[in-house]
Amino acid sequence: MNQPIDHLERACWLAMSQIPGIGPVRAVALYQHFGNLSEAWRAPERELATVLDSRTLQQVLAGRASVDPEALLESTTRLGITVITQVDAEYPRLLAQISGAPPVLYVRGKLLPEDDTAVAFVGTRRSTAYGRHVVAKLAGDLAAAGVTVVSGLALGIDGAAHQGALERGGRTVAVLAGGVDVIYPSEHRSLAERITASGALISDYPPGTKPDAPHFPARNRLISGLSLATVVVEAPRRSGALITVNFAADQGRDVFVVPSNVDSAAGEGSNRLLRDGARAVTCAADILEDLGLAAREESEPDSPVEHLSDDERRILAVIGSEPRHMDEIVVTAGLSISQGAAIMTMLELRDLVRNVGSQHYVATRGGGRASR
């Protein structure tokens, strides 16, 4: 349906989408019947009745009597919000492929064609230091490889994913459960502004809409719909992240899971997904290769320690071929125990260090080379 549309047509898509009863199915039905929604907005009642049931027809008639579409579009634009309709070329290609795609998206920032190469990250708000470290690393590496990182701006895993992408100079998109002018949680207002400057905030809810609880599952459906794959990092047994996984499966999108500590309640749902056959990932190269975005030999650096953080390098510099207890390693590296534990777990997953028993670690051959 992608084609150039004029100001009035965009305004009518916006106005029609805000009428109760006009969802994705009816909006498309009106478009297909009339050829555009500006014609549908002006159509006689008897003609609308051939497309709409009586209740929805009355809602449309009431909406037309009380709303000026062009004034509505102008007031939305004054808020710094762009309205993208399902017939716009800018409408995300992956999202357009799912059933019931939103007829209208509200955007702060800018969507680009390269955002069609996107990966979503989901997980618990009550994340551990390990979870935040892992997701920031994965999201940052994917962003550096040209992949847009999609998440939901929530505390915990979502926020760490967005920050990881931004720190590597990449693009990230946040999908909100309310209006894009209503930032939730408030702690992420500064993060939202950074995302707007180098990516986009997206919602299918009109400006001013509060992020009520029923909106979050619908938000999760858009997160997976915008993405080639969804990566789960720390999902408890009962988690909204698992709802996103179900949406991704229904949409025919890939699902990846980062292994969690078996003693951590924060990762109980994640590890259950792995038990049930989900694909485990420990580095961005796993995701890039499985999605066909880059061959492993092209996406992995020659050195296994390229792009490590300063803290990771400090820990590797302390570890040698003789076993040392984790607490000793972390203190010598000048880090807190919680920071060090998270980093040690990630290094072990990447096969740079090995636990030889009782939390005593040695460097692998790759890790040993890294420390020199």
pLDDT digits (tens, 9 = 90+) for 198-242: 999 999 999 999 999 889 999 999 999 999 999 999 988 888 788
Under the banding of pLDDT at 50, 70 and 90, the label for residue 365 is low
pLDDT at 196 over 60: yes
Under the banding of pLDDT at 50, 70 and 90, the label for residue 371 is very low
Q: What is the mean pLDDT of residues 105-134?
A: 94
d(CA 179, CA 55): 27
Q: Each residue of 143-194: pLDDT tens digit?
A: 999 999 999 999 999 999 999 999 999 999 999 999 999 999 999 999 999 9
Burial 101-130 (b: 16+ CB within 10 A, else e): bbbbbbbbbebeeebebbbbbbbbbebbbb
* pTM for the predicted model, two decimal places: 0.80
pLDDT at 124 over 60: yes
CATH architecture for residues 113-299: 3-Layer(aba) Sandwich (3.40)
pLDDT at 135 over 50: yes
Q: What is the pLDDT of residue 302?
A: 45
Which numeric CATH code is attached to 7-79? 1.10.150.20
Q: What is the pLDDT of residue 303?
A: 52
Q: Which of 69, 342, 120 is nearest to 227 (CA)?
A: 120
Q: What is the pLDDT of residue 84?
A: 97
Q: Each residue of 278-321: pLDDT tens digit?
A: 899 989 999 999 999 874 444 444 455 556 778 888 888 888 76
Residues of the chain with pLDDT > 90: what percent? 66
Q: What is the pLDDT of residue 304?
A: 53
Pick the CATH number of 310-370 from 3.40.720.10, 1.10.10.10, 2.60.120.10, 3.30.710.10: 1.10.10.10
List the chain domain ranges.
Answer: 7-79, 113-299, 310-370
Which of 266 and 187 is assigned the larger pLDDT?
Answer: 187
According to DSSP, the residues that pair with 355 across neighbouring strands are 361
Q: What is the pLDDT of residue 295?
A: 41
Cα Rg of the chain, angstroms: 24
Q: What is the pLDDT of residue 51?
A: 95
